[in-house]
Structure 1
Amino acid sequence: MRQSPFIVIAAILLAAVCISGCIGNPAQSGGDKTELTVFAAASLTEAMTDIKNDYETMHPDIRVTLNLDGSQALRTQIEQGAYADVFLSANTRHLYALRDQGLMENDTIGLFAKNRLAVIVPAANPGNIASLEDLARPGIRLVIGTKDVPVGDYARQILDKMADDDAYGPSYREAVQNNVMSEETAVTHIVAKVQLGEADAGIAYESDVSPRDRDTISMIPIPDTYNVIAEYPAGVLKCSGNRDEALHFIRYLQGEQGGEVLARYGFAKP
């Protein structure tokens, strides 16, 4: 039986998507501007908004389009064929997974920022939380990330470190986990619930308490002994139609000007 030509064409197109990992190529956004599509971890929201504006001012021929979400969600979108020029992840796990699938330009991958975790509480602090010990107190409403989102994975690593320390032990980890009222798919959701008073505390990034948030959120540091350093890698997608422009944008993030903006929002140099 002869196959319909439409079936053959559909199969070829499907194979192309599976190989490239991207559908479409919006290289030009109209006029003479080149559009860079940047998939960025939700924890970068405020910093990337400023960086986008600065970069477009410096490069009037470029328009930066941001897609901000949890790193695991962005990875899934790319795996399912969403087009992106640049991926900025809040951990190496999700970007390296794309690399291992052949979806990244390997020679463009590198770190551009680091971050630390902290406990955040509403400015009014209705739970009277003053220390890490208070997170285990019965009745505390705690919000963390899911195990797949980087901030949730990091939070679990911290609790595991504390469980291994006789000063806290496994019972502390269990008590804290019992206080978890919800697990969020993006750190911005954690921050929002704390800001609105829907939770007594959350485990988020230090960078999430930006200067504009300090009237609504307070931060309790997590000691270095237990903390986790979050590494943020960047890379150009193999399907990018703007490889040179995308790599230039990453180099800007890694450079002095991009670093100054990131530092303003609590990120450290890698």
Structure 2
Amino acid sequence: MIRHATAAASLTVVALALAGCGSDDTAGSPDEGTTTLNVAAAASLTASFEEIATDFEAEHDGVDVQFQFAGSSDLASQITNGAELDVFASADEATMDKVADFTAADPTIFATNVLTIVTEPGNPKKITGLKDLESSDLAVVVCAEQVPCGAATKTLTQEQGVTLDPASEESKVTDVLSKVTTGEADAGLVYVTDATGAGDKVEMVETVGADKVVNTYPIATLKDSAHADEAQAFVDFVTGPEGHKVLKSKGFGAP
């Protein structure tokens, strides 16, 4: 997901209009002097990181933060395959470990998250907990095991003695949430933060044992970053009081 696409388009129109005046063929680009910081972040961080980036840009003139939001495992694959990125924020430490050779410094834990069951508003299927999700009458959606929310789902269900037969396994938690909000699934397991962000589009069901399966979120700058100073400044902002305030407001736990 790329931020500021509309603003960029507007600047291009202005630049063309000015060029038409023909006053100076050597005039610089409207983006001259702007540093673009490319941040790869777990899909569950979308709302919080968009807000954090707005605050960060307000304090750092000339820095434009652009995001690639996806499942952490997909992002890790992009990094190991040479994607030009400056910062990586993962939804778990295991995925961050996969890119250890590409990070410029030790990752910093900046947030925690836990799972919860979500259903359609009003909980029409009267789901009361994980055990109910075993019913063959329910269409249950979860994250694929290879992504952090899927690994957490596997741990949680095993610890609670629950065996699921999901209707689908998604590559990112936002896709699980979408299938519930659109009525394609009766229930899903997502992070509390995603459920909170969905508001009245879903209903959260108390999920016994979820508080014992905690995902910790690390963030790190990347070795091949073309903007090492700005990348570190963004990491410091996320892990500092400004970032923690936003993350807490979105439902994330403290590191």
Contact preservation (8 Å) 2:115, 2:210: no
Counterparts in 2 of 1:218 and 1:238: CA distance versus 1, 3 Å: same
Equivalent pairs counted in the alignment come to 227
Which residue of structure 2 aligns with residue 266 of structure 1?
251
Change (3 A) 1:253 1:264: same
Q: CA–CA distance in 2 between the matches of 1:98 and 1:64?
A: 21
Give the corresponding residue for 1:45: 46
1:225 Cα deviation (Å)? 6.8
Tell me the secondary structure at the aligned position of residue 214 of structure 1: helix
| Aligned counterpart for 2:232 among listed residues 234, 239, 247 | 247
Moved more, 70-79 or 131-140: 131-140
Task: Say what the alpha-carbon RMSD is for the aligned residues.
Answer: 1.7
For residue 88 of structure 1, report the CA deviation from its aligned partner: 0.2
Gaps of 5+ in 2: 1-28
Correspondence for 1:36: 37
- Matched with 1:9 is none
Say which of 196, 199, 219 aligns to 2:204.
219
Deviations 1:60-86 (A, max 9, x none): 211000000000000111111111100
2:159 corresponding residue in structure 1: 161
Distance 1:114 1:250 in 2: 16
Q: Is the 8 Å Cα contact of residues 71 and 90 (structure 1) preserved in structure 2?
A: yes
1:233 aligns with 2:231: no
Distance 1:252 1:78, change over 3 A: same
Tell me how far 1:29 sits from its aligned partner. Answer: 9.6
Amino acid at match of 2:167: M
Inter-partner Cα distance in structure 1 for 2:42 and 2:117: 19
- The alignment partner of 2:99 has SS state of helix
| Greater alpha carbon shift after TM alignment, 58-67 vs 219-228 | 219-228
Question: How is 1:1-270 mapped onto 2 (pairs within 5 angstroms)?
Answer: 30-99=31-100, 102-107=101-106, 109-163=107-161, 173-174=162-163, 177-178=164-165, 180-211=166-197, 213-224=198-209, 227-270=212-255
- Matched position secondary structure for 2:114: strand
User: Distance between the aligned counterparts of 1:136 and 1:248, measured in 2?
Assistant: 46
Flag the 1:52–1:255 CA change in 2: closer, same or farther, 3 A. Answer: same
Give the 3-state SS of the residue equivalent to 2:113 in structure 1. Answer: strand
1:191-246 alpha-carbon deviations (Å, 9 max, x no partner): 100101111110110000235x2211111232347741000000011101111211
- Partner of 1:74: helix, strand, or coil? helix
The percentage of counterpart residues that share the same residue type is: 33
Tell me the distance in 1 between the aligned counterparts of 2:185 and 2:122: 12
> Which region of structure 1 is more displaced relative to structure 2, 221-230 or 45-54?
221-230
Letter in 2 for 1:214: G
Amino acid at match of 2:237: Y
In structure 2, C-alpha distance between the alignment counterparts of 1:137 and 1:82, rounded to whole Å: 42
Q: Which residue of 2 aligns with 1:3?
A: none
Please give the alpha-carbon distance, in whole angstroms, between the structure 2 residues aligned to 1:220 and 1:29.
Answer: 50
TM-score, length basis structure 2: 0.85
Displacement after TM superposition at 1:160 (Å): 1.1
SS in 2 for 1:123: coil
* SS, match of residue 82 in structure 2: coil
- Is the 2:128–2:206 contact (alpha carbons within 8 Å) kept by the matching residues of 1? no
Q: Distance in 1 between matches of 2:134 and 2:177?
A: 20
Q: Is the 8 A contact 1:29 1:35 kept in 2?
A: no
